[in-house]
C-alpha cells in the first residue's frame, strides 16, 4: 500500500484548534485534542497499569496521523488516558464534550465512571462539576468497535478494505473539549425560518432552572453588523423574530444572519451564545408538464453535485485540518456545483458551516448499519432494477432484532436533532442501497414528522418502496433512462463513477472503478458525453437532480474529480464549471 503525502500542513500538537460548534458558540472553552496515552488490550480486563504509547487525538487509531496506525478488532478495548489542570471560574459548571467516538465507550474522570455512550457518529457530553478538582485531573476512556463484524451504524468502514469499502475508524475521531457554563445555562436552540411570514421561530432548552427561577431569554438578529430584530420571552416560551425584507439564502447568494442569544436572571445576562441562521425554504412543485421539481425559496432549482465520502489518506474520517475540510467544498463550488451529497457519514459541524457559507445545498445520508449487500446481489440489482419488500424478511438486511432497529432510529433521531439548524441541509436520506433497510416508508414518514421543513429520500438507489419525496436511482455502467410512472421527484442520486488512475497518487495498485479510462483526455470526453447525451435529455422528461460519483478518490476507488491526496485535478475546473452551470441553467429554466 502506498502512503500518500498531503498538500495540507501537518497536524500540530493541538490539531483542529477551531471551536467545534459554530452555530452555538460560547466563550470559555478548553480544547483537549493533542497527545493522549493509549493501550490496546483484550476485553474483560482492568484499565492498563502501563500504556503502549502516545496517540494524537482526535485522529483514529487506524490513521497515520494518530501515530499508531493499527486496527481495533472485535474482542479488543482501546484505552485512552490524559491529565489536565482546570482553572475553574467561581460557581461555574463544567461540561465535557466528545464530538464523536466510534463505536461504544465508557468514560471515567478521576477514577469515577461518568457514563457510557454508543453510536460512532454523534456527539455526547457529561457534566463533570462534582468530580473535577483543583490541580491535576485524569480522564480515561475504554472504547470497543466491532466495525463490520457487528451490525451497528458504520457507513463504509470495514476491517478488510477494498473496492467501495474503506478502512475502519475506531475510537476518538472528533474534537474533545470542555466548557464552563453558569449555574443556569443555554443548552440548545431550535431555529425555524418561516419565509412566507418573513420570520424566524426560535425555542431554547435551558438547564439548571426551577419554577422559582423566573428566567427569561432574548434573541437579537443582525446582518452585516446592523440589528434587524430583537425579542424576549420566558424560558418556557418560544420567540418569533420578524425579519424585515429578508435577504434569501441560495447557492448564488448564501446570505447568513448573525444571531445572539442571551439568558437573563433578574434582568442580568447570565449566559450568552452566538449563532447564525438563513432565510430560505425547501420544497417541491410541479412544472408545466406535470413533473415534480425541487424548489428553493419557492423557485424550481435543478440540483447537480458530487457524492462526497469525507475521507483523507492520512486521517480517514477526520479532516486533517480546517484547511483540508474546506478545500473539498471550495473545489466543489469552483467547478460549478450547487449541491453535495454527504454519503453515509455525519461530518463535524464545521463542515456544515462551510456549506452554509459557500452556498452548497446538502443531501444528508444516515450512516448505514445492519448487513451490507452481497456483491452478487449488487450486480443483479444494478442491471435488473430488482426490488424487495423491506417490511418482512429483515434477517437479510441484518435488522431482525428490535433492539438493533431501535438503535438505528435513536441515532437517526440524534442526527436530525444535531443538524436541524443547518441552513444548507435540504434532504434527509435514511437508507442507501438497501444496507440495513427496514420499513423505509414508515421511517421516512417519521423523519418528515420530526422535520417537516425538508424533503426525504427514503431509499436511495435500490429497493424503492414508493415512499418519500424522490424516485431515487443509482445508475452505473448502463445508460441513464427516463422515469418510471411515479408521483415523486425524479433524481439520479448516484451515477458515473468514471475512473482514471493517477500514478504516484494512488493508495494501492489494486484499484476499483465503474468505467476505466486511460488518459485525462479520455476522461473528459466520456464525462462530457455522459452529461450532454444522457443527463441533459432527461431533464424535459422530469429529471430534477443528479449526483455524480464522486468528489475524490477514496483508497482503492479511483472515480473522483480529485486524486485521494487532493494533489491532482483530473479534469480542468474551468471546463467543468461551464458544463455544470449549463446543466443547472437548463434544468432550472425548464422547470420555471
Banded model confidence at residue 91, pLDDT cuts 50, 70, 90: confident
Give the residue-averaged pLDDT of 239-243. 97
Give the mean pLDDT of 276-280.
98
Task: Find the mean pLDDT for residues 412-439.
Answer: 96
Res. 100: pLDDT tops 80:
yes
Task: Tell me the per-residue pLDDT of 148-176, one tens digit each, with 9 for 90 and over.
Answer: 999 999 999 999 999 999 999 999 999 99
Cα 200 from chain centroid (whole Å): 24
- What's the rounded Cα separation, in Å, for the pair 308 and 363? 10
CA proximity to 286, closest of 472, 488, 444:
488
Query: What's the pLDDT score for residue 587?
Result: 86
Q: Tell me the backbone φ, ψ of residue 388, rounded to 5 degrees.
A: -130, 150
- Burial of 274-292, coded b for 16+ CB within 10 Å and e otherwise, reads ebbbbbbbbbeeeeeeebb
Residue showing cell 436533532 = 417
Indicate whether 338 pLDDT > 50.
yes
For residue 304 the three cell numbers come to 447537480
Question: Taking 50 as the threshold, does the pLDDT of residue 508 lie above it?
Answer: yes
Share the mean pLDDT of the chain: 93
pLDDT-derived band of residue 95, with 50, 70 and 90 as boundaries?
A: very high
Task: Give the separation between CA 329 and CA 254, rounded to whole angstroms.
Answer: 14
Instruction: Please state, in angstroms and rounded to a whole number, the distance separating the CA atoms of residues 36 and 138.
Output: 11
Helix or strand holding residue 419 (H, E): helix 402-419
Q: Are 179 and 95 in contact (CB under 8 A)?
A: yes
Q: What is the pLDDT of residue 1?
A: 38
CA distance 544 to 560: 23
Q: Which three cell numbers stand for residue 578?
A: 461551464
Q: DSSP assignment of 440-499, as one string?
A: HHHHHHHHHHH-TTSEE-SSBBSS--S-SSEEEEEE-SSPP-PPPS-SSEEEEEEEE-EE
Residue 376 makes CB contacts below 8 A (sequence gap 6+) with: none
Model confidence band, residue 269 (pLDDT cutoffs 50, 70, 90): very high
pLDDT value for 212: 55
Average pLDDT over residues 347-364: 98
pLDDT at 11: 64
In the prediction, which pLDDT does 2 show?
Answer: 44
> How confident is the model over 30-41, as pLDDT tens digits?
999 999 999 999
Q: By C-alpha distance, which of 110, 165, 169 is closest to 143?
A: 169
Report CA dihedral (19, 355, 452, 280) to the nearest 10 degrees. Answer: 110
- Average pLDDT, integer, range 208-234: 89
- Split at pLDDT 50, 70, 90, the class of 382 is low
Question: Nearest-CA neighbor of 151 among 429, 435, 413, 410?
Answer: 435
pLDDT for residue 378 is more than 80? no
User: 380: which residues sit within 8 A by CB, 6+ positions away?
Assistant: 386
Give the pLDDT confidence score for residue 396 in this predicted structure.
86
Which triple of cell numbers denotes residue 346?
455525519
pLDDT digit string, tens, across residues 314-323:
999 999 999 9
Helix (H), strand (E) at residue 585: helix 573-591
Kindly report, residue by residue over 169-200, the tens digit of the pLDDT. Answer: 999 999 999 999 999 999 999 999 999 999 99
Rounded CA gap, 98 and 529, in Å?
Answer: 46
Residue closest to 493 by CA, chosen among 528, 456, 529, 526: 456
Q: Looking at 82-96, 168-182, 217-231, 440-454, which range is the least confident one? A: 82-96
Contact criterion met (CB below 8 Å) for 228 and 245 = no
Domains of the chain: 29-181 (2.60.120.260), 196-277 (2.60.40.10), 282-591 (3.20.20.80)
Amino acid at each position: 500500500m502506498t502512503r500518500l503525502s498531503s498538500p495540507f500542513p501537518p497536524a500540530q500538537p493541538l490539531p483542529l484548534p477551531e471551536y467545534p460548534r459554530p452555530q452555538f458558540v460560547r466563550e470559555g472553552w478548553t480544547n483537549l485534542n493533542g497527545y493522549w496515552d493509549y493501550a490496546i488490550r483484550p476485553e474483560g480486563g482492568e484499565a492498563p497499569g502501563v500504556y503502549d504509547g502516545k496517540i494524537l487525538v482526535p485522529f483514529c487509531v487506524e490513521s497515520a496521523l494518530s501515530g499508531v496506525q493499527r486496527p481495533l478488532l472485535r474482542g479488543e478495548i482501546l484505552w485512552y488516558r490524559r491529565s489536565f489542570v482546570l482553572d475553574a471560574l467561581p460557581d461555574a459548571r463544567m461540561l465535557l464534550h466528545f464530538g464523536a467516538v466510534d463505536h461504544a465507550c465508557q468514560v471515567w474522570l478521576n477514577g469515577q465512571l461518568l457514563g457510557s455512550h454508543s453510536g460512532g457518529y454523534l456527539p455526547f457530553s457529561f457534566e463533570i462539576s462534582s468530580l473535577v478538582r483543583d490541580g491535576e485531573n485524569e480522564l480515561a476512556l475504554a472504547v470497543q468497535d466491532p466495525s463490520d463484524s457487528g451490525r451497528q451504524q458504520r457507513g463504509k468502514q470495514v476491517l478488510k478494505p477494498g473496492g467501495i469499502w474503506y478502512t475502519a475508524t475506531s475510537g476518538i475521531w472528533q474534537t474533545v473539549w470542555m466548557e464552563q457554563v453558569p449555574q443556569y445555562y443555554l443548552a440548545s436552540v431550535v431555529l425555524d425560518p418561516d419565509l412566507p411570514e418573513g420570520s424566524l421561530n426560535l425555542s431554547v432548552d435551558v438547564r439548571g432552572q426551577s419554577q422559582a427561577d423566573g428566567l427569561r431569554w432574548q434573541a437579537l438578529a443582525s446582518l452585516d453588523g446592523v440589528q434587524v430584530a430583537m425579542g424576549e420571552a420566558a424560558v418556557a416560551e418560544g420567540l418569533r423574530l420578524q425579519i424585515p425584507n429578508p435577504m434569501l439564502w441560495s447557492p448564488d447568494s448564501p446570505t447568513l444572519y448573525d444571531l445572539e442569544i442571551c439568558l437573563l436572571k433578574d434582568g442580568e445576562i447570565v449566559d450568552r451564545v452566538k449563532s447564525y441562521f438563513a432565510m430560505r425554504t425547501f420544497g417541491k412543485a410541479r412544472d408545466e408538464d406535470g413533473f415534480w421539481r425541487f424548489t428553493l425559496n419557492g423557485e424550481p432549482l435543478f440540483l447537480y453535485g458530487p457524492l462526497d465520502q469525507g475521507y483523507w489518506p492520512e486521517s480517514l474520517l477526520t479532516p486533517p485540518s480546517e484547511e483540508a475540510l474546506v478545500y473539498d467544498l471550495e473545489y466543489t463550488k469552483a467547478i460549478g456545483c450547487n449541491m453535495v451529497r454527504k454519503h453515509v457519514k455525519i461530518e463535524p459541524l464545521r463542515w456544515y458551516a462551510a456549506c452554509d457559507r459557500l452556498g452548497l445545498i446538502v443531501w444528508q445520508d444516515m450512516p448505514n448499519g445492519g448487513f451490507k449487500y452481497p456483491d452478487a446481489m449488487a450486480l443483479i440489482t444494478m442491471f435488473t432494477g430488482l426490488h424487495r419488500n423491506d417490511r418482512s424478511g429483515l434477517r437479510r438486511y441484518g435488522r431482525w432484532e428490535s433492539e438493533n432497529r431501535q438503535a438505528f432510529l435513536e441515532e437517526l433521531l440524534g442526527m436530525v436533532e444535531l443538524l436541524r439548524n443547518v441552513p444548507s441541509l435540504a434532504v434527509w436520506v435514511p437508507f442507501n442501497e438497501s444496507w440495513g433497510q427496514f420499513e423505509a416508508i414508515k421511517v421516512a414518514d417519521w423523519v418528515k414528522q420530526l422535520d417537516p421543513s425538508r424533503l426525504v429520500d427514503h431509499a436511495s438507489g435500490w429497493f424503492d418502496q414508493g415512499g418519500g419525496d424522490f424516485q431515487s436511482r443509482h445508475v452505473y455502467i448502463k445508460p441513464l433512462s427516463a422515469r418510471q410512472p411515479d408521483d415523486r421527484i425524479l433524481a439520479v442520486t448516484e451515477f458515473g463513477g468514471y475512473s482514471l488512475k493517477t500514478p504516484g497518487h494512488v493508495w494501492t495498485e489494486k484499484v476499483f472503478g465503474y468505467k476505466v479510462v486511460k488518459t485525462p483526455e479520455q476522461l473528459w470526453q466520456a464525462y462530457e458525453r455522459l452529461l450532454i447525451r444522457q443527463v441533459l435529455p432527461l431533464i424535459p422528461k422530469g429529471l430534477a437532480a443528479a449526483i455524480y460519483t464522486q468528489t475524490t478518490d477514496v483508497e482503492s476507488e479511483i472515480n473522483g474529480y480529485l486524486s485521494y491526496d487532493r494533489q491532482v485535478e483530473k479534469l480542468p475546473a474551468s471546463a467543468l464549471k461551464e458544463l455544470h452551470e449549463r446543466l443547472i441553467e437548463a434544468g432550472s429554466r425548464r422547470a420555471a
